[in-house]
């Protein structure tokens, strides 16, 4: 009776530690704290299976040691691949051949960065119907201090003198 499989029936994600309710064939337990690895956190969907270990065999002292939800689990991995995913089909997948980000029709936002640098040895391709920039664009930025706006304004002034 030291290990059991249960199913999540509810949870609260307020405060410093997530509280789960789960049921097993023998019991229903609520407000059980769930710890996760530092830097990783998730809200387990209701119906997620969990593996419970009972410390010292004490059924009142359970710890969740693993979780899985078959409905949303990603599959078909090659050895060494990994993915971070959610129940809505959004994922970040790391493979031997690169990285894939699937936003599944949702926005992707980078917040509060002072600088975002993308380094590519070949090219960067933006396949979009519209590219918007809220401020200046500077090409050849390591050798050119003038923005495209400055160059456009200088060109427009030159055109009005004819």
Q: What is the pLDDT of residues 61-108, one digit of tens each?
A: 888 999 999 999 999 999 999 999 999 999 999 999 999 999 999 999
Would you say the C-alpha torsion 83, 104, 44, 3 has a positive or negative sign? negative
The pLDDT value given to residue 155: 86
Sorted by where each begins, the domain ranges of the chain are 3-68
- CATH topology classification for 3-68: OB fold (Dihydrolipoamide Acetyltransferase, E2P) (2.40.50)
At residue 162, does pLDDT exceed 70? Answer: no
Environment class of 62 (CB within 10 Å of its CB; exposed 0-12, middle 13-18, buried 19+): buried
How would residue 161 be classed by pLDDT, with cut points 50, 70 and 90? Answer: low
The pLDDT value given to residue 120: 93
* 10-68 confidence digits (pLDDT tens): 999 998 999 999 999 889 999 888 988 899 999 999 999 999 999 888 888 888 999 99
Q: Can you tell me the distance from the alpha carbon of 89 to that of 101, in angstroms, rounded to the nearest whole number? A: 11
The pLDDT value given to residue 61: 86
Environment class of 141 (CB within 10 Å of its CB; exposed 0-12, middle 13-18, buried 19+): exposed
* 141-160 confidence digits (pLDDT tens): 889 888 888 888 888 887 76
């Amino acid at each position: 009776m030291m290990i059991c499989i249960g199913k999540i029936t509810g949870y609260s994600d307020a405060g410093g530690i997530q509280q789960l309710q789960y049921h097993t064939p023998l019991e229903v337990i609520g407000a059980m704290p769930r710890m996760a690895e530092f830097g990783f956190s998730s809200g387990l969907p209701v119906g997620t299976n969990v593996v419970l270990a009972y410390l010292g065999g004490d059924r009142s002292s359970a710890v969740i040691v693993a979780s899985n939800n078959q409905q949303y689990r990603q599959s078909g991995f090659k050895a060494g691949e990994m993915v971070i995913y959610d129940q809505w089909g959004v994922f970040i997948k790391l493979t031997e051949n690169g990285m894939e980000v699937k936003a599944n029709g949702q926005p992707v936002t980078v917040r509060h960065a002072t600088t975002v640098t993308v380094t590519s040895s070949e090219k960067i391709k933006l396949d979009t119907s519209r590219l918007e920039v809220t401020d200046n664009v500077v090409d050849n930025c390591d050798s050119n201090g003038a923005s495209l706006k400055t160059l456009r304004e200088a060109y427009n002034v030159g055109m009005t003198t004819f």
